[in-house]
């Protein structure tokens, strides 16, 4: 394997970072939740920058509509319906073979997060829903880990760096700062909004990881590229003393079973995800064989998932028991299909 000593030389010549900062990056471990538009941009930047250990978790697979903005993926990934975590790892290993890249095909909930945060220095938000972000928020405060929130839709983007014990948490912000209600399903999205959000997220990440917290923005940043609007907001006043996540008497409400969702309508997709209430592990080959014998639809499989086409609906089954029901946003209808074939 060929190693080039000047790989990070241009970065090290940036005086605030230097060689010492680069060494700190090499010794850092970052968890990226979500490998969609935000996640792929984040993880590619951190990989190219030499962050030594990257862990990616994502529940979905690559589709053609992803290629417009999810920069790690190719047409071949979409043709093969590769899980995003797998496709991202393959591409990242071709970009930087000198770092450690772990990838997990999973829907991240409390148990999964508790495992993933072990040994991590920073959590990056690459998700598309507030249910998962509020889980991240609770776990980050429980384990005293910084995390960097980011979101985008249309031409609008927003980001904020959350430091447990110092800044307001996401739960605080939801009560005082309008974070928007549109999704990429209702408003679409342009890739430049993604890139602007992740530029801020990864710049803040490098400040933290290289040992320069004094350089952090300490403000919530929002913008609209189409309208040429740019705002930075001081949100220190939003911190609530009685916040159940970051206040004096913390209960971490989003870690309790009563707040866990088992079904999600996926952002930008005519799709419902159904997640079993208890852990289960499917033999995908056996599942594909069983569905094929029904003679009710077209079955296609790869080592990571099974696709089952039923007229206007398509079900995609993962080894952890999750099923994506494409062709509907109606949760009862999706559940009916799920129970018909999976009990």
CATH number at residue 218: 3.40.50.720
Do 210 and 316 sit in the same domain of this protein?
no
CB 119 within 8 A of CB 189: no
Which stretches does DSSP call E strand in the chain? 29-33, 53-58, 100-105, 122-125, 147-153, 156-162, 220-224, 229-233, 263-265, 271-274, 298-302, 305-310, 313-318, 323-326
> Considering only CA atoms, which of 120, 151, 153 is closest in space to residue 134?
151
Strand order in the sheet with 298-302: 263-265, 271-274, 323-326, 313-318, 305-310, 298-302
Residue 311 has a pLDDT of 87
Do 148 and 247 sit in the same domain of this protein?
yes
Select from 231, 258, 285 the last residue of a domain: 258
Do 279 and 252 sit in the same domain of this protein?
no
C-alpha 56/C-alpha 105 separation (Å) is 9
Q: What angle do CA 119, 124, 130 make, to 5 degrees?
A: 120
CB 161 within 8 A of CB 202: no
CB 247 within 8 A of CB 254: no
- Which pair of tokens denotes residue 234? 């001081």
The answer to whether residue 90 is domain-embedded is yes
Do 75 and 159 sit in the same domain of this protein?
yes
CATH, residue 293: 3.30.310
Residue showing tokens 């496709």: 87
DSSP output for 254-266: GGSGGG--SEEEP
Dihedrals phi, psi of 9, to nearest 5 degrees: -60, -40
Under DSSP, is residue 300 helix (H, G, I), strand (E, B) or coil?
strand
Domain count within the chain: 2
pTM: 0.83
Residue 267 has a pLDDT of 72
Select from 218, 242, 258 the last residue of a domain: 258
How far, rounded to the nearest angstrom, does the alpha carbon of residue 107 sit from its chain's CA centroid?
10
Do 162 and 286 sit in the same domain of this protein?
no
The answer to whether residue 1 is domain-embedded is no
Do 214 and 275 sit in the same domain of this protein?
no
Do 213 and 295 sit in the same domain of this protein?
no
Do 75 and 139 sit in the same domain of this protein?
yes
Do 188 and 40 sit in the same domain of this protein?
yes
C-alpha 138/C-alpha 147 separation (Å) is 11
Do 317 and 177 sit in the same domain of this protein?
no
Select from 232, 258, 284 the last residue of a domain: 258
- Which pair of tokens denotes residue 222? 């929002």
Q: What is the pLDDT along the chain (343 residues), one digit of tens a residue?
A: 455 678 999 999 999 999 999 999 999 999 999 999 999 999 999 999 999 999 999 988 999 989 999 999 999 999 999 999 999 999 999 999 999 999 999 888 898 999 999 999 999 999 987 878 999 999 999 999 999 999 999 999 999 999 999 999 999 998 766 665 556 655 688 999 999 999 999 999 999 999 999 999 999 999 999 999 999 999 999 999 999 999 999 999 989 865 555 777 877 678 999 887 666 788 999 999 999 988 889 999 999 999 999 989 999 999 988 999 999 998 878 877 887 887 6
Dihedrals phi, psi of 24, to nearest 5 degrees: -65, -40
Do 72 and 212 sit in the same domain of this protein?
yes
Which residue range forms the structural domain that includes residue 135? 9-258
C-alpha 100/C-alpha 93 separation (Å) is 9
Residue 60 has a pLDDT of 87
């Amino acid at each position: 394997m060929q190693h080039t000593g000047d790989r990070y030389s241009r970065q090290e010549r940036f005086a605030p970072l230097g060689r010492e900062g680069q060494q700190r990056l090499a010794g850092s471990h970052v968890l990226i939740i979500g490998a969609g538009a935000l996640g792929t941009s984040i993880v590619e930047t951190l990989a190219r920058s030499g962050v030594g250990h990257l862990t990616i978790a994502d529940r979905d697979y690559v589709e053609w509509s992803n290629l417009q903005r999810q920069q790690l993926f190719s047409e071949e990934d979409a043709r093969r319906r590769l899980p995003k975590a797998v496709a991202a790892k393959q591409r990242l290993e071709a970009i930087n073979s000198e770092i450690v890249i772990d990838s997990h095909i999973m829907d991240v909930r409390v148990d999964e997060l508790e495992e993933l945060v072990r040994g991590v220095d920073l959590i990056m938000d690459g998700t598309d829903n507030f249910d998962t972000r509020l889980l991240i928020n609770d776990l980050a405060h429980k384990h005293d880990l910084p995390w960097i929130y980011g979101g985008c839709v249309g031409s609008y983007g927003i980001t904020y760096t959350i430091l447990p014990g110092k800044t307001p948490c996401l739960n605080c912000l939801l009560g005082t700062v309008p974070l928007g209600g549109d999704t990429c399903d209702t408003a679409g999205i342009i890739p430049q909004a993604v890139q602007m959000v992740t530029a801020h997220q990864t710049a803040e990440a490098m400040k933290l990881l290289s040992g320069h917290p004094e350089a952090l923005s300490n403000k919530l940043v929002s913008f609209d590229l189409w309208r040429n609007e740019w705002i930075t907001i001081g949100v220190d006043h939003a911190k609530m003393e009685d916040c159940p996540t970051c206040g004096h008497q913390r209960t971490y409400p989003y870690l309790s079973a009563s707040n866990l969702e088992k079904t999600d309508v996926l952002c930008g997709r005519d799709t419902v995800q159904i997640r079993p209430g208890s852990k289960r592990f499917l033999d995908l080959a056996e599942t594909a064989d069983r569905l094929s014998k029904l003679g009710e639809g077209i079955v296609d499989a790869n080592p990571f998932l099974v696709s089952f086409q039923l007229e206007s609906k398509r079900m995609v089954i993962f080894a952890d028991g999750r099923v994506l029901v494409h062709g509907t946003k109606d949760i009862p209808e999706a559940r009916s299909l799920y129970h018909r074939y999976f009990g």
